[in-house]
Amino acid sequence: MTRKIFTPGRLIISVICVAGIITTFVRFAKGLGAVTNLSDRFPWGLWVGFDVLCGVALAAGGFVMTASVYLLNLRKYQPLLRPTILTAFLGYILVSTGLIYDLGKPYNIWHPLIMWNAHSAMFEVAWCVMLYSTVLALEFSPILFEHLRMERAKRIIHAIEIPVVIAGVVLSTLHQSSLGTLFLIVPDRLHPLWYTPVLPVLFFISAITVGLAMVIVESSLSSKFFHRSLKLDLLIDMGRFLIIALMLYLAVRFQDLIFRGSIKHVFSGGYESAFFAAEIFLMLAPMVALMFKRIIVSRRGLFFCALSVIGGVVLNRLDVAIVGMMRSAGVYYFPSAGEITVSIFLVTVGIIIFALADKYLPLFPMEKEAKETNTMKQAAVILMVLFMVMPLLSYAEPTEKEQSAAVKVRLQKLSIDDRKAAETPEVVIYKTDYKKGTLVKFNHKMHAGDYGLKCIECHHVEKCAHCHGQDTTPMMVEESKIALHETCMGCHRAMGVNPRQCDTCHKQ
């Protein structure tokens, strides 16, 4: 019996690959503006939010399983290890590839190798991702050496596997949490539902959580598509661990919201609260469902609960990178067709490589069934659903009322006359010392009018009352003084304009 060369599945995958290749050519030939909806006001979009943040999180199953098998000596989970390591390895390769798409100057991606900035969270993430990708390559290499019958090389890798695993766990812990650290530098831009000093901790806990969920989903899909036996008893254990991880994550999340007084934003009624509710529901519902024996011992129950957790963590990363930033940025962002095409293209490439690895490498225990299935057709169905559902799942357009404050700032380019009509003060007097009553005169007309600065360059989109209450304490005045001083000095230094002496502003 001969196989058909052209099947619906292969046709769909071919269309996705052709579209991805064409979009790739346009992106690198004409730049980011030709294929994305990114801008200077919103520079990080789908490629950072999904390809990088979600990609790294979804690859966390690698360090979770290697730590369980080699460091905790839970050897019974060994059958789940090889496909999980391959999934993680492919994930990091695709994360690095997605980052190249997003960089304005991708040919400078090698700079962190020799241009060190030890104070940068992004520098730490870059190095950890590079080193952990190397660790994953070493962990995956015995599979390749076994296929090539290179026994000596395989023995060498096995001799150093414990130090390699320890290095992998340390590196994963560092960069999984440091991805959250990236957003600690934008407290005035990220919505209070997601901004928190413990964001690195939440990123790390959620990475472990989604790592367990990925093991369940990957094993279930491999069993269906590649006809491998499903280790249901092992996956049930993963489900029990998943309950504990979800409990820990949700407890820390809500305790932080209550402690910071941000729990009120959950009920604000804006689009941010809707995304937050969806994110929490996708993690809370499977946690409760898995507590029922009927569900946790069911293949479908485990699969859909784990899939829901993955959706919740993916939505969380998109909320942090995109949804939580839109209101403060003053712009509305929705990914372009080119951005979505590249993301789906990278996922498709990962699926193709995994299928080829299953065919040619000893990825699973030696077991085959006589029945032969069309894997490409089944994978294509998932990809088509992903094409249609991903944009709808990840984004929702804010209502006209919710956009109003940001849109007005974005669309109005005020002239000097417009500012006068809005009763903008020509001179502002700042009280810089609560006890002494020291005053500083700021020439607003000169900065806003003569220099042509836009309002949003100095002022937040939100009203002052959004962050500051009615009562002003000495501590608040002192903090405002420091913030104002840093704003003035930082702007002058950035523009290369000498602010001269202190007495230029501070009159004796």
The yes-or-no verdict on residue 251 having pLDDT over 50 is yes
Would you state the structure tokens that stand for residue 180, as one six-digit string?
Answer: 């959250």
Please report which residue ranges of 103-120 form alpha helices under DSSP H.
Answer: 111-114
Average pLDDT over residues 365-379: 43
How far, in Å, CA of 253 to CA of 180, rounded? 14
For 218-229, write each residue's pLDDT tens digit. 988 888 887 777
**CB contact at 8 A, 322 and 4:** no
DSSP state of 370: S
Average pLDDT over residues 121-128: 88
Average pLDDT over residues 470-479: 44
CA distances from 328 to 334, 401, 404 (A): 15, 15, 12
The region of weakest confidence among 16-25, 63-72, 212-221, 370-379 is 370-379
How far, in Å, CA of 57 to CA of 313, rounded? 8
For 30-59, write each residue's pLDDT tens digit. 999 899 999 888 989 999 999 999 999 999
The yes-or-no verdict on residue 178 having pLDDT over 80 is yes
For 428-468, write each residue's pLDDT tens digit. 665 555 445 566 666 766 666 555 565 655 655 444 544 55
Model pTM score: 0.71
Q: Mean pLDDT, the chain, as a whole number?
A: 79
For 326-351, write each residue's pLDDT tens digit. 988 888 899 999 999 999 999 999 99
Place 359 in a pLDDT band, splitting at 50, 70 and 90: confident
pLDDT cut 70: percent of the chain above it: 70
Please report which residue ranges of 230-336 form alpha helices under DSSP H.
Answer: 232-260, 271-289, 293-296, 299-318, 324-329
**CB contact at 8 A, 445 and 417:** no
For 254-310, write each residue's pLDDT tens digit. 999 999 999 999 988 888 999 999 999 999 999 999 999 999 999 999 999 999 999
pLDDT at 239: 94
pLDDT at 1: 46
pLDDT at 11: 87
Average pLDDT over residues 180-202: 92
Q: Which domains does the chain have, with CATH numbers?
A: 45-337 (1.20.1630.10), 412-504 (3.90.10)
Place 479 in a pLDDT band, splitting at 50, 70 and 90: very low
Place 101 in a pLDDT band, splitting at 50, 70 and 90: very high
For 52-85, write each residue's pLDDT tens digit. 999 999 999 998 999 999 988 888 898 888 899 9
